[in-house]
A and B are shown apart, each in its own frame.
Chain A
Amino acid sequence: MLRRSVCWMLARHTFFLSAISNRPVQFLIGLILLLLLYANISSSTQYRQQITTQNYYRELVRNHWEEMPDKHPHRMAHYGYIAFRSIDPLSLFDRGIDNYAGNAIFLEAHKQNTVNFSEAGLSTGLLRFGEITQSMVLQLLVPLLMFFIGFGAIAADRENGTLKILFSQGTSWKELLLGKSLGLWLIGILFLLVGMLLLVGTSLFIPELEMNSDWWVRVLVLLLLYSIYFWIIAAITSWVSASSKSAKLALVSLIGIWLLMGIILPRAIQSGASWVFPAPSKIHFDSMVEQELIKKGDSHDPNDPYYKALKDSVLRAHNVSTIEELPFNYSGFQMKEGERISTELYNKQMAVLMGIYKKQNNLSSLTGWVNPFVPIRLCSMSFAGTDFSSYTRFQEEAESYRYRLAQQMNDWQIQYISNKKPTPGEKGPAISRDFWKVFPEFTYPSTSWKQGLNEAGYSVLMLLAWFLFSLWLLIFRSQKLNAL
């Protein structure tokens, strides 16, 4: 039998008496609110700077592309394109790995370049201390405050004897724990709502930021997930407070949990994961791709058996004896084949590398079953569109665009460029600049809530498991607690 009125009374008591009307706590609440505000201001400044710069250069790159004069298609393939990683509007809330991901990549024929200019690469070592974002404040600092407020929620009552009085008046353990947790949870919710209001408010004032329905869905999902998270934190707090002998011990345990689970373990595990599953360096990776390529056939080598055989078979099929007699541009044809093969091999090696990275990441996300700070971090990044997959998605999209660009140019070369070499003094072969406009701009869709869910599915599950576990703990395990 659970009396709601009793729960509410206890919750109100916890919320107003031990939190809102307590001086040092008022100070801490003010401090965290200030940090939320600071996070909001600095994220939005950074977002606006980045988005303005990016939009400017994206347009510039496109204009330059379309304004290129008549050219040989292969020149255009080397002129290439510059792709920019789009920044999710919700990076205002959770920057995730954004600062560690490169922002621009030069796409050209034959060569897969790296995504360069990550904020981390341009940063002083300071960035490695972390950064202040709304998500960081909500994930780490608000729980700490809840621990500070709630450590004595039950332990202090026990120490000063009020617990006995409460029980003698007919309150049950269930009511007590649920009520106190509810009160603590409301404190978390207070910050959550302030944070979300700030987020919506700031987003409204950024003209470049589109708040479409998908944006709203993701914000609501984040709101829901963080509410669950704060419930778990509140439940842990009151449980630890109820099962500790003294308030001091409860405080020490809670601080210990926070330090270990919130700060130290996530770093240690991810760092350890890259130790357990070592990834190759760039030089190693490049030479592996090169080795494979040599095995398959080197298009640079005029006597390479693979390309010699290819040439012979093409000549035979068209019943001619020299390349000049072919009805299409042979060097374009050979480059097309070379591009196909090198891209295939590169993608194969890339898949291996991504496999290693995923193993590293899975090992650390697995700890979410024992560490409640982990699932929320992962969900939050995924729904904010700033997680690992949002980055790899950009890489894949950029690579596939690069491939399409190179092959389109090869196709045009095959079709429109003559096999005959120009005589000295003659202008080199070229195709009309009208072709350039036909080739579309590089765009890719931003993270949708469905993708977020797809990526976060597992961590959402862990979060829900923690939620159910906390309920079970408070409702069914509480009878075993000691009132004295």
Chain B
Amino acid sequence: MWKLCIKNFVRTSVAQVGISAVLIAGIISLLIGRQHLVKQQEAVKQTMVAQNEHINRNKEFFSAELGLLFYYLKFSLVNELDPINGLSIGQRDVNPSIQSVTIRNLENQRYDTDLYNPNVLHAGNLDLSFVLLYLFPLLIIASCYSVLSADQEAGTWNMTRVQARKPAALLWKSIVIRMGFMFSLFFVLIGLAFVLLPLSINYRILLFVGTGMAYLLFWFGLCAFIISLNKNSSTNAMLLLSCWILLAIILPAAVNNYLTSRYPVPEALSTMVEQREAYHEKWDMEKTPTLKAFYKVYPEYEKYGYPQENFSWLWYYAMQHLGDEESKEQSASFMNKLAKREAAARSISFFIPTLHTQHQFNSLAKAGLENHLLFLKQTANFHESLRKQVYPLIFENRQVDEVNWKALSVQKFEENQHNDWVPVFLPFLVFILGLFGISWKRLHSMV
């Protein structure tokens, strides 16, 4: 019986055309993911080389004055890439993975973006997460929508019902076979991903695969539920397609519109303006209050006193830092607002499987807003540690060779959030059990 069912399915054009189309799309998506990883890794490599060259060249020109030398020097912090990012590019194409900062004020540099083509971002990426989120459900719908109704319409169902001992089991068999094919396809793609991308088996990738499987199961549950409504094929197709449009297009977009207008971020601009004012006004002010304010933040430098000459690097970097200090409030509320957006998106996504899946993928790929916010925070820490290393040297007017250049190489930031598996699977579990439970009951009472 199994054999016959399998044969039956394999012979359909949906199986042949659909599966190969998704397979091809999947392979292309992996290649695109690989290109993304390669581009990012190249950029990291280049950053290391460029930073060294950049430092050495500037050392030649400005060796006489450390203050001037560090005015120009840029130091980079890399937001480490997880190879899973090749499966789910997420926001890593919008947000830069490398931050290069000088020791001048931070707020003026922290939000610099990468270069990109807005049209490409607008169209979205064809990565594996897209194939999983959008294409797999379509394939599942196409293969399942007429599981019962096609037999009814062809007039063969009554015969089957009479002859089979458990006709409902036969229906489940058909669904399980389709599951088998879809999961095999999914695993073939994951297998290929291991070949094409530098993935290794770890907790995160297992969670990724698990999320993908749960998402596919959710769609099978939805199909089983629609089948159990016992409508004709066209109605089933329309209903399932409407679910797809609702879950993959309308609801996410509507939620996004809501979040954007619910949490506007004028703080972005106020930070930018305030930081610039706070720094530049110091040029026209007495030097002592500026230095006093600076020493209030860093009492350890008070020993350098209050030089009154026209220009001193101590005063200059104090002015620069006060730009950050005085825009701290705006900057904090800016970050706060973004965190709120993220939290709101997170809670809404528990109720919408497509959003939930994408959120999980992005978070496992370290490519979501959460990761970006951590990176921005880490950039601030990086900037501060740089300044603290360099300030005393500048203020004491040391020589270039007295700087520990090795300590000033490219730094890396790795997000170490632990992804708990319970909140990942719980929403799926509710949906899957609910849908399968209801359809099980309905199908058994019906046939």
Contacts and interface: CB of A to CB of B under 8 A. Distances in A.
Given A136-B253, A251-B234, A287 B368 contact: no
A334 interface: no
Interface string A40-60: 001101100110011011001
A130 B368 CA distance: 16
A348 to B, nearest CB: 15
B341 A123 contact: yes
A57 B270 contact: yes
Interface stretch (B109-117, B184-192, B205-213): B109-117
B118 A129 contact: no
A271 B126 contact: yes
B276 A79 contact: yes
B241 A255 contact: yes
Contact of A364 (B50, B115, B123): B123
A53 B269 contact: yes
Most buried by A among B39, B113, B284, B369: B113
Interface in B86-112: 90-91, 94-96, 98, 100, 108, 111-112
B145 to A, nearest CB: 10
Interface stretch (B25-33, B216-224, B388-396, B400-408): B25-33
B369 A124 contact: yes
Contacts of B119: 97, 270, 357, 360-361, 364, 388
B113 A391 contact: no
A279 B121 CA distance: 13
Nearest to A359: B117
A118 B264 contact: no
Interface stretch (A108-116, A211-219, A310-318): A108-116
A75 B108 contact: no
A349 to B, nearest CB: 10
A353 interface: yes
B322 to A, nearest CB: 15
B368 A125 contact: yes
Interface in A88-126: 96-97, 99-104, 106, 113-126
Contact of A75 (B54, B122, B266, B283): B283
Given A42-B258, A301-B61, A104 B362 contact: no
Interface string B251-277: 011111111110011101110110011
B118 A82 contact: no
Interface string B141-157: 00000000000000000
A420 interface: no
Contacts of A416: none
B100 to A, nearest CB: 8
B49 to A, nearest CB: 9
Given A124-B341, A132-B257, A263-B134, A282 B31 contact: no
Contacts of B283: 71, 75
Contacts of B440: none
B117 A130 contact: no
Contacts of B266: 49, 53, 56-57
B135 interface: yes
A280 interface: yes
Contacts of B287: none
A287 B238 contact: no
A295 interface: no
A471 B447 CA distance: 50
Contacts of A35: 250
B5 interface: no
Contacts of A124: 259, 341-342, 345, 359, 368-369
Given A46-B261, A129-B253, A281-B42, A266 B123 contact: yes
B257 A42 contact: yes
Interface residues of B, number: 93
A417 interface: no
Nearest to B247: A129
A428 interface: yes
Interface in B20-47: 25, 28, 31-32, 35, 39-40, 42-43, 46-47
A223 B402 CA distance: 70
Interface in A170-214: none
- The A interface is mostly helix, strand or loop, or mixed, namely helix
Interface in B322-376: 338, 341-342, 345, 354-355, 358-359, 362, 367-369
Given A268-B28, A281-B115, A126 B355 contact: yes
Nearest to B358: A125
Nearest to A260: B21
Nearest to A96: B122
A338 B111 CA distance: 27
B183 interface: no
Given A357-B117, A360-B119, A267 B124 contact: yes
A125 B362 contact: yes
A100 B138 contact: no
Interface in A34-88: 35, 38-39, 42-43, 45-46, 49-50, 53-54, 56-57, 60-61, 64, 68-69, 71, 75, 78-80, 82, 84
A100 B35 CA distance: 21
A123 B369 contact: yes
A422 B310 contact: yes
Most buried by B among A78, A100, A255: A100
A425 B308 CA distance: 8
A167 B217 CA distance: 50
B130 interface: yes
Contacts of A166: none
A271 B125 CA distance: 6
A78 B276 CA distance: 10
Contact of B115 (A97, A267, A279, A287): A279
A483 interface: no
A271 B94 contact: no
B123 A38 contact: no
A248 interface: yes
B245 interface: yes
B441 interface: no
Nearest to A42: B257
A255 B141 CA distance: 12
A128 B124 contact: yes
Nearest to A35: B250
Contacts of B256: 123, 126-127, 129-131
Contacts of A127: 256, 260
Contact of A123 (B50, B72, B260): B260
Interface in A246-289: 247-248, 251-252, 255, 259, 263-264, 266-275, 278-287
A463 interface: no
Nearest to B91: A125
Contacts of A131: 253, 256-257, 260
A302 interface: yes
Nearest to B261: A45
B61 A302 contact: yes
B95 A121 contact: yes
11 contacts: A82-B276, A100-B118, A124-B368, A124-B369, A125-B359, A129-B354, A130-B253, A251-B234, A279-B117, A300-B72, A301-B61
Please list the 10 inter-chain residue pairs (A to B) with the smallest Cβ-Cβ separation, ordered nearest first.
Answer: A270-B123, A129-B252, A271-B126, A42-B257, A124-B345, A97-B118, A100-B118, A53-B266, A357-B117, A281-B43
Given A125-B367, A129-B358, A263-B134, 7 more contacts: A54-B269, A116-B272, A267-B125, A281-B42, A282-B96, A364-B119, A425-B310
